[in-house]
Amino acid sequence: MILRYFVALIFLFCTICAYAETSPEDRKAEAQLHMQAANYQAAYDIYATLLWEIPDDDEVNIGLARAAMGIGRYYPALMALERLSVKYPRDMAIRKELLLAYLRVDDFASARREAEILKQNGVNIDLGNILPDSMALSYSGRIAIGLMYDSNTNSGLDHNPLPAGYTLQGMDEVASMGAYLQGTLNTARKLSQSSWLVSDLNAYYRYNNDSELINNIDVLWLRAAAGWRLATKQFMSDLRIKVDLTEQGSKDAQNQRIFGYGLDANFAYSFDQRVTLGMRLSADKRDYNTVESREGTYWSIGEYVRVSLTQPAGLNLAQKLTLNLRLRGAYTDLAAYDYLGWEASLSWLFAIDSIEITPLVAYGIDSYDGLAIFIDKENRRDKQLRAAASAIWRFHEDWSAELFYQYSKNNSNSLLYSYDQHLINMSIAVFF
C-alpha cells in the first residue's frame, strides 16, 4: 500500500514538473493567435523570448520578423529575415519580405539587389514602383484648422501696478476666443545614398475676436527654409537657411512686422534603438518696423536626449522620454533688450494604438542687461514656467483630431512683465 502511494506521488510530481513551464510549441501557438488579432507587440514579446531558446527555429524567426515589422522595429525584423535568406537562399517569399525590410531602413542598394534576385528567379518586380528614384522629389505636409481660447491674449496684467498717476494702454489682461489655420509642406530630393536637399514651408494665421484687444488682434507667421541633410543609420545632420515674417495686428497703431533670416541646424546620433542624443542650433537676424531698438541677433543652442522606454508585455504601448536643455540670448540695438537665459524641459510621449499623449514641463530664466522701465531698480530678470499636455487621435490614415493645453507663468522683477496665461487649442488636421 505504501509503495502504491509512493508511486502515485512520484507520478503526480512528474506531471506537475512537465506542465510547470509552457512548452515552446504552446507559446508559438499563443504568438500566432496574437498575430491573427494584429496584437503585434504581444507576439513580438513571445517570439523574442523563444529566439533565445530555439534560435534556429524557422517559425520563430519568421514570426519575429513579421511581428517586428508590425510594431516598426525594422532592424530585428531585418536580422531575422537575413538569417532565413541565408538558410533558404531559393525561397523567394522570404526574399520579398527581406526586400520590404530593406526599404523600411532606407537601404536601397540591398533592396535593389534583392529585387534583381527575385527577377532572375521569375518573380516580376517593378523597380520603378517599389524603389525611389534617386532624383525624385518627395513631399509631405499637414493642414490644420482649429478653435482656441487664450486667457491672456496680449500677455497683459490682471491689475495696474504702476504708481498713481501713471497708466499704460493695452496692458490689461484680455481673454479671447479665436480661430486659426496652420499649414506645413516638407520636401526632399535625394542626392545620394545618405544625402538630400531639403526644404520646408510653414504658414500660420490666428484671429482673436475680443473687441477689447488693442494689440494681437490677428497674427500671421510665414517661414521658408532650404538646406542639406546627411543621414545614416546612426547619425543625422540637417543645416538650413531660413527666412520668416511675423505680423501682429493693432487697432490704434501701426501693425508690428518682424522680418527675420538666419540658420537652423540639427544633429542627432542614435547609440542604439533606444537612446538618441541630439543638438539644435538657431540664429536669427531680426528687423522690426515699429520698435527698431529690438533689432539684432537672436540665438539658441540646445542639447537633448531621447530614450525609448521598455514596452510593457501584452500592451501595444510605446513610450519616449525626452530631456532638453537650451541656452538662448539676444544682442540688440538697445542694451535693455539684450538677454542671456536657459530653459530645461521634460516631455513623456505615450503612444497607444492610434492615440498619442504627451505631457511636458519646462522651466527657464532670462537675465537682461538693462532696466525694462524707468521705475525699475535693477535689471530685468524673468523666471518662466510652462506646463503643457497634448493629445492626438489619428482616427484615419490621413486625419487626426488634436487637443492642446498649456499654462504659462512669467515671474519678473519688472512690474510690467509678470503674467499668467492659459491656452487651449482644438483642431482637425489632414496629412498628405
How would DSSP label each residue in 303-364? EEEEEEEPPPTT--EEEEEEEEEEEEEEEESSGGG-EEEEEEEEEEEEEETTEEEEEEEEEE
- On the CB side of 351, how many CA atoms lie within 13 Å of its CA? 13
Question: Above 50 in pLDDT, residue 324?
Answer: yes
Confirm if 421 and 152 have CB atoms less than 8 A apart: yes
- Of these ranges, 6-20, 99-113, 205-219, 378-392, the one predicted with the greatest mean pLDDT is 378-392
pLDDT, tens digit, for every residue of 371-408?
Answer: 877 777 889 999 999 999 999 999 987 899 999 999 99
Question: Above 50 in pLDDT, residue 410?
Answer: yes
Answer left, alpha or beta for residue 122, where phi above 0 means left and psi between -120 and 50 means alpha: left
Question: Could you give the CA distance from residue 332 to residue 365 in angstroms, rounded to a whole number?
Answer: 19
Q: Which residue has the higher pLDDT, 111 or 315?
A: 111
pLDDT, tens digit, for every residue of 140-177?
Answer: 899 999 999 999 998 887 665 565 555 555 567 889 99
For the chain, list the domains and their CATH numbers. Answer: 21-130 (1.25.40.10), 137-431 (2.40.160.40)
Q: Does residue 385 sit in helix, strand or coil?
A: strand
pLDDT, tens digit, for every residue of 329-384?
Answer: 999 988 888 999 999 999 999 888 889 999 999 999 999 998 877 777 889 999 99
pLDDT, tens digit, for every residue of 5-25?
Answer: 454 445 444 444 443 457 888
Q: Does residue 410 sit in helix, strand or coil?
A: strand
Question: Could you give the CA distance from residue 252 to residue 239 in angstroms, rounded to a whole number?
Answer: 41
